[in-house]
Structure 1
Amino acid sequence: MKPSYFTLPVERFDLNLLPSEARNIGSAAFKTAVVAYFAEQYASKSQQAVVAVDDHDISVLVLPSDSDPLEFVMTMLQSGHIKEAVPYLETLAKASPDNVQVLYNLGIAYSELSQFDEAIIRLKRAVKLDPTHAHAWTGIGVAYQRMGKREQAIEPMQKAVEADPSDGYARRNLGAMLLGAGQYAEALEHLRAARRAIPHDPQALYGLASVLEAVGGEDNEEEADELYLVLIQKFPGAQVAEMAREARTKLAHKSMRSKVGGGLRPDVMMYLAGALETFAKVGPDKSRQITLEVAMKGQEGLDINDPAQKYTLKTLPGQFSGMQLVSIMYVGLKALDPNMDAGIDLSAEYEAAKAMQRA
């Protein structure tokens, strides 16, 4: 049997089907009698009816007699049919207004449909019934965050962590919110806890790297760089890997500049000058091949702070350091489009290298 669902305006219900003392629409006796009527009708067919009656409508969810109504709706949610599941959840919520799990899943469904006010109403009702429901507190915080109300989002996320300190996702979300609010020390504490709880979660890793970078200091920035590299290697095709690449490049550029007090790096100038000379010799087609290969290798992460010549290319003989490859790519990209953003600012060294070449 396929489950079904329908609603009926209360004024269209045939009152003659009810006992005479239960025909006053809106009364408690009316609602109880309507529920009993549908339950009896479907029970005779070996089916069960979950019935909810309010001042305007009668909602009826019909299932096989051996089905768990919430389990049926959860299957819909898990298969992505969120919008279709909401009426069923509403019926269950009306029929069992104190069922915390129904309220929680209804709230999350509304949040996924961007109906945040409706989501927060249901989720707050859930935590009122069960203040230890960490996931419901998390749902409230996420809904507020999606509404752009970051300050209001922090308190429910803190409640979620208090309810279940071992919940890595609650820790991760709270840490991200605190990071956005500039509360770096607290954010670092929660994001470290999140990494311990969910060590393979990319958002937890990225959040921890971000807060380490925000706190600053050589040790923290070195750890952040290692985390960014882990993300690039473990999740190469994901958006978070691209974000990690950009963050790692900026971090490396900052480190590069700090080592020379903000001035020019002679080694980078020599790498750029060498690349200019090589490209002039091999011509445009070969230059594009070299640039493309370096760019592809860069997707895996290049360590520009390590002077060791540990990289090789198929298009060029020899071994190269990470900074040397970045310099080669920079020259290649500038040859393709002088206005292209190469992801790292070597413009001062580039102009100096061109001046050296002209001289």
Structure 2
Amino acid sequence: MSQEYSFSLPYSAFDLDLIGLTAADVGSSEFIERVSEFLAGQFATFGGLARIVCNDQSHTIDVRWTRNANFREPRDFALELLRSGKIGEAIPLLWTVHQQQPRDVSVLFNLGVAWSEHGQPDKAIPILRQLLEIEPHHVHGLVALGVALIRIQQAPEGELLLRRALRLEPRNLWALRNLGGCLLQLGRAAEALPVLQTALEIGPQDPQTLLGMGQSLEALNRSDDADDYYQRIIRLGTPEPVVELAKERRSAIAAHRMRSAGELRPDVLMYLTGAVERFADMSLDQIQALGIEIAILGQTGLDINDPEPKYTLRSLPGTFSGLHLCCLMYAAFKKFAPAQDVGIDFSREWMQVNVPK
């Protein structure tokens, strides 16, 4: 006969977000049904057979379970899910394991990091604090808690924790790059730069560190140097969100250069004039559809530094350069939403264009 394991937890300790209910539902028949289904399903995931009893007198959830022939250690299974990027699937499993092993440092760390990365740092913080009560010098725990605090705008405490981690492990890349980001958030770009440079020595191809370097240099009015780091990220090609941020920053730098140049740009004048002439044969709805299509395309980054026509549209035939599309978008928005800030300033050139009445 298989050995039986058991644990209990109070109703108040159950994470209601896992079953889509609120505090008003606790103790209801729906609460009992969903809790039972959830826990039984979690145990089945790793080859366990569970019986769940919700005790209304003691307000506790009592779980008794045994191992089936196909049993796998739930912690190992959860780590596989995390490694494959399935954070949302790993969280309920880690949470279930945590109820059985509330002082297991590995479970606490992985559950805390999973919640933080899944956009729930408020849930991660108490779990990670519990970890550090058990093991105060857990370097990755210090970093994870620091990152979670930064994510809820508590950067000063986050900075202290990251510095504690670095005293224990001075060349920890995770701690260094997040300390750099923290200092940037606090408006201390000059302090962030040497921290990120050290991180870059350890991980020269780390996209997050490269992004932090670019942002620090931009904040220090060194846009040309920043642009070099953004180009390095784009050449790496991954991860996609960081690459898109790098493209956005390159576009912003290019736009700032154009605004600062002082003289009117003949290429911008040409594209804006062409746009106005094209719009003469288009309805306002068509112009609006064109402007919105380009704006959506621009969310993935338009390279306005490259004159080569390489973009296509559904709304218009032909191939366009990034700058040409930006001019079309600018002119379109001036037609249907003139007060809208489109993120690039061609106002001086626009004033010179003979807009038909």
Superposition TM-score tier, normalisation by shorter sequence: 0.5 to 0.7
Query: Equivalent residue for 1:14?
Result: none
DSSP 3-state at the match of 2:323: helix
- Once residues 132 and 183 of structure 2 are traced to their aligned partners in structure 1, the CA distance between those partners, rounded to angstroms, is 22
Indicate if the aligned counterparts of 2:121 and 2:149 stay in contact, CA closer than 8 A.
no
Q: Does 1:178 align with 2:179?
A: no
Shift of 1:169: 2.5
1:114-133, aligned counterparts within 5 Å? 114-115=122-123, 118-128=126-136, 131=137, 133=138
Structure 2 residue corresponding to 1:157, chosen from 156, 162, 174: 162
Deviation for aligned residue 1:139: 2.0
- Equivalent of 2:98 in 86, 89, 97: 89
Counterpart in 1 of 2:279? 279
Partner SS, residue 335 of structure 2: helix
Say if 1:217 and 1:200 are closer, same or farther in 2 by CA, change over 3 A. Answer: closer
TM-superposed CA distance for 1:137, in Å, is: 1.3
Change (3 A) 1:104 1:278: closer
1:212 and 2:217 equivalent?
A: yes
Matched, 1:258 2:260: yes
- Which segment drifts farther, 268-277 or 133-142? 268-277
Q: What residue in structure 2 maps to residue 249 of structure 1?
A: 251
The answer to whether 1:343 aligns with 2:355 is no
Whole-angstrom distance in 2 between the partners of 1:149 and 1:204:
21
Mapping for residues 97-116 of structure 1, pairs under 5 Å: 100-101=105-106, 104-105=109-110, 108=113, 114-115=122-123
The alpha carbon displacement at 1:74 in A equals 4.4
Do the aligned residues in 1 keep the contact of 2:259 with 2:345 (CA within 8 Å)? no
* In 2, Cα distance between equivalents of 1:241 and 1:144: 25
Amino acid at match of 1:73: R
SS at match of 1:354: coil
> Aligned in 2, Cα 1:180/1:289: closer, same or farther, shift over 3 Å?
closer
1:329 is displaced (CA, Å) by 2.9
Identity %: 33
Structure-1 separation of matches of 2:70 and 2:169: 31
Q: Which residue of 2 aligns with 1:310?
A: 308
- Between the aligned partners of 2:299 and 2:144, the Cα distance in structure 1 is 35
Q: Measure, in 1, the Cα distance between the counterparts of 2:295 and 2:183.
A: 35
Alignment check: 8 A CA contact 2:146 2:159 kept? yes
Task: Give unmatched runs, 5+ long, in structure 1.
Answer: 10-46, 48-56
Bigger radius of gyration, 1 or 2? 1
1:342, 1:274 → 2: CA distance?
19
CA distance 1:2–1:145, shift in 2 (3 Å): farther
RMSD across aligned C-alpha pairs, in angstroms? 4.4
Normalization by structure 2: what TM-score?
A: 0.63
Whether 1:226 and 2:256 are equivalent positions in the alignment is no
For 1:63 and 1:160, locate their aligned partners in 2 and report how far apart those are by CA, in whole Å: 40
Q: Return the match for 2:196 from 191, 195, 201.
A: 191
Question: Equivalent residue of 2:122, what SS?
Answer: coil
Q: Distance in 1 between matches of 2:144 and 2:340?
A: 42
Q: CA deviation at 1:78?
A: 5.2
- Stretches of structure 2 lacking an aligned partner (at least 5 in a row): 11-47, 49-59, 82-88
8 Å Cα contact 2:166/2:176 also seen in 1 = yes
Given residue 133 of structure 2, which amino acid in structure 1 is its aligned partner?
R
TM-score scaled to structure 1, two decimals? 0.62
Q: What are the superposed Cα offsets for residues 330-352 of structure 1, whole Å, 9 maximum, x if unpaired?
A: 22343344344322122232122
Residue of structure 2 equivalent to 1:330: 330
1:256 Cα deviation after fit: 1.0
Question: What is the identity, as a one-letter code, of the residue corresponding to 1:311?
Answer: P
CA 1:78 to 1:223, structure 2 compared with 1: closer, same or farther past 3 Å?
A: same
